[in-house]
Structure 1
Amino acid sequence: MLLLVVDALPPATFDLGMPGWAPTLELTAHVRAKPAPGPLRVRHVTRNVAHGMFEEDCEVWDSDDRLVAQSRQLALLPRKGGRTL
């Protein structure tokens, strides 16, 4: 399930007013530990949007405040109307 969490969230560009499908060009994911029982906390951000692409970082923390999974994804920006560049 951790791999699903780091890849299946809506693109971080939704928060920037750019909804739509954002095809992945590259994805690296690391599962670091088995999560402790309880809720997970997810941080999902982008720091770089340029040249029709963006990088997206995802971190998953367990109820013991341990980093249990993380990913970095390079994707194409969604275009208006849901089409890609």
Structure 2
Amino acid sequence: MDLRRIKDWTLLPGASIEVRQQGRGVWSGLVDAVTADGEILWVIDPSGQRRLFEKAEFYEAWAIEERDGFHYEVTKNDDNLQKVS
């Protein structure tokens, strides 16, 4: 799966994402809501559980899908090319 880090969380409502912290996947699902400033988001996993994540706690959102509105740059990461927004 080719995941892409999305820095602007305001673009994510309705997107399928994986949430990572310190490089480790901690949660995945559909973004249910995002605060207006893009600092907090809520993700619903496939079982219906909803969880809150804050950028201040070093969480990152990685898009599982390609979507219009996501702006990607190619960067080098661990000898693999990954697209980053």
Give your verdict on TM over 0.5: no
